Structure 1
């Protein structure tokens, strides 16, 4: 072949190759959902300046933080139901299992959020406590593979138990495999010298890192990875290095620590009080109250460290450039406010939790939104940001407009438990009890949720009742 023919052949080969080559299609963004159990907005980046939460704080610098995010139920099960289904649900910790039972009996049920993304081409994996039971299964020890909380949802739903034997043991586990048998014989808080793996979240995090590596190395499809950390759920146990951060600091005063007068959703903190308290009561012993608060803070710092490892691994893989990240607390937690130690009320402390969202090419990095939003909004928001169809059955609202302009107004937020419902606006909270009793609190006043002003504003009460009905029936 002479030189001219070689040039022509090379040119034709180049044209043929480039004309046949298909352009590489950009896949939908990955999704990383990090769920943290019992996390109130007790983070430095959310205003709790004494808290050491460097990894979350760094994450918020490139995200939008929602300061007025409210969950739809002040308990693990029903709150996670709304997050995973995009719909209001029954106010019971068995909400997801009740839904699963209907599916097994052949009822037509709208798909859950992970199932929806799975049908749209995503590989779905959960690690840890994402639904109510860590690992998403039922049975005596929460490891029965025939009893699934969210059928058809996950390609893998994993719960590493290490020395805690089973998911039930890990859920309330303390250091080195200690399992809760009798609550009153298990210490309400603990600190032990050792690595992060001496408590269950260490094993959950290691499994999450393993899954991230696998999903980014071998998976051709976008992934939806949900990771659920257990701490700071009771009992408050964390490695000593995290507790040492709080040994000599001054804690802020507990706001409105008195038991409220009149009818409210106050309760006697039975979930907390059933542990071994060494004969002490934090409502009567301020030094003990501060010890409890320090151990809660240690658990927050421990959870923060696990989140840091997960985000670091995501960045190491390079997948962070095409991943939507949501950090979500499943509800708040009282640390003595209203003389409550726990969740399960319809006061602000039970319902307000941190939510932080980051997505590829976002413009408002580090922004703080004061818009009222709710957990119900996560499902449609993830659909909107990922470019897949938003199902018509979801009852929340996409937060994309707020993410693009954090000064955008939000909407009312609804929450419920078995004996009452509540609606939160920018200025007020109304609580409507099943027996007709009404609480109304004015958040524009210093009293906030310590003074019931329902009798003072009957027209506002009626208006909020109507809004509550409309919201629940939408």
Structure 2
């Protein structure tokens, strides 16, 4: 067993997880294990990702930098590394590795599960994050390859023609009839090995659900037989220019001729299957944390649970992510560490994903990375009432900032959106024309961030 002077890090990434958790206010969701972690840690109820898609969001979390909006953001960073190593700053796992940690990635931590490129995401010559991991693992079992597992349904079904694959599914069986069950079992094996090492570990585990298609063992859907999922609070399509889109990722699947935008019963059915996937992911989190406790390393481990972005379940007439509304950008963040005081007290501070890298370094007593865009959240861990800072995000359509009261979005074509969360928490009334002075101030603020982002990309 390694020295207790250095804290381990267990980093749990959950794909497409909006704050659809009991501990974050969705009391109809069955998520006891994540809720328990929130009771033992600090839940950040106003955590925002820096981009509403898997690749660029994970880029910011893993590097502490703002970046580009495409899902290939991490691979593009890898290409820059091959050309000039000195021009690219170390990633978070690389920073820990350089400071004496064993670093292991399992499942979907970067954009591709297993961290490789190629046709089926299994080419060892195409590494998504060079220099980051001692081992990068992805058990594919009957799903043939990482690409198959990423979009897999029960018992080895992989996506060929999307229209022939069901958008949701509920099949009888154990957790291992879907890919996350195998990821979890591999995580338990690795924790057993890591606990016996003389080195501290940075172990990142990425679960795939609730990413599309919404497939989970039937026992998790059965949990919701007698539970009423609340109706969508604002299903209307925005009338003014915005980052609304046609939900192409969702509608590429087989929907049996139904449309949740016009069929309320079908919309509720989809949302129940999403909830089942959340409960399935929650069960995997429970198994992993239980194993950590069994190894004796729990009291020496910093635990982070992070959703890589939110997901619109019909909000704003969108079924998916890739937009700059609140639902796509807000995701759960929980940080637990051995010396945390006032456990279980949530914080409403505005924070963002780039803050995670410097925070973990400070918690682990590692040298501070001076090259990151993020700010350490230590003060918020010490005092849950401490205020945060505004959060910046971007996609291919525009840029946005979220302050304590407002969301301001600047679209590429020059259109502006301003929402007052004090009076309009669902972002349904654009008041940009009513507050020209505030819009001018926020435009200057967002342009400063855009310039900072451009300079960072050049590096």
What TM-score results when the alignment is normalised by the length of structure 2? 0.97
DSSP-derived class of the 1:296 partner? helix
Equivalent position of 1:20 in the other structure: none
- How much does 1:250 deviate? 1.4
Residue ranges of structure 1 left out of the alignment (5+ in a row): 1-23
Residue ranges of structure 2 left out of the alignment (5+ in a row): 453-459
Write the mapping of 1:308-327 to structure 2, written as runs, cut at 5 A. Answer: 308-327=286-305
Equivalent position of 1:8 in the other structure: none
Deviates further, 52-61 or 443-452: 443-452
- 1:53 corresponds to which of 13, 31, 36: 31
Equivalent position of 1:410 in the other structure: 388
Equivalent position of 2:276 in the other structure: 298
Write the mapping of 1:125-140 to structure 2, written as runs, cut at 5 A. Answer: 125-140=104-119
The reply to whether residue 32 of structure 1 matches residue 10 of structure 2 is: yes
Equivalent position of 1:467 in the other structure: 445
- 1:81 corresponds to which of 51, 59, 62: 59
- How much does 1:434 deviate? 1.5
- How much does 1:255 deviate? 1.1
Equivalent position of 2:183 in the other structure: 204
Distance in 2 separating the partners of 1:254 and 1:136: 36
Distance in 2 separating the partners of 1:60 and 1:250: 24
Aligned length: 450
DSSP-derived class of the 1:39 partner? coil
DSSP-derived class of the 1:331 partner? coil
DSSP-derived class of the 2:223 partner? helix
Q: For the Cα contact (< 8 Å) 1:36–1:329, is it kept in 2?
A: yes
Distance in 2 separating the partners of 1:343 and 1:419: 13
What TM-score results when the alignment is normalised by the length of structure 1? 0.94
Write the mapping of 1:323-342 to structure 2, written as runs, cut at 5 A. Answer: 323-342=301-320
Equivalent position of 1:184 in the other structure: 163
Equivalent position of 1:456 in the other structure: 434
The reply to whether residue 438 of structure 1 matches residue 438 of structure 2 is: no
The reply to whether residue 141 of structure 1 matches residue 107 of structure 2 is: no
The reply to whether residue 220 of structure 1 matches residue 204 of structure 2 is: no
Q: For the Cα contact (< 8 Å) 2:3–2:200, is it kept in 1?
A: no
Deviations 1:321-379 (A, max 9, x none): 11000000000000010010000000000000000000112112101100000001000
Q: Name the Cα RMSD after superposition.
A: 1.0
- How much does 1:465 deviate? 1.5
Write the mapping of 1:236-255 to structure 2, written as runs, cut at 5 A. Answer: 236-255=214-233
Equivalent position of 2:100 in the other structure: 121
The reply to whether residue 282 of structure 1 matches residue 231 of structure 2 is: no
Q: Which of the pair has more CA radius of gyration? A: 1
Distance in 2 separating the partners of 1:447 and 1:322: 39
Distance in 2 separating the partners of 1:462 and 1:56: 41
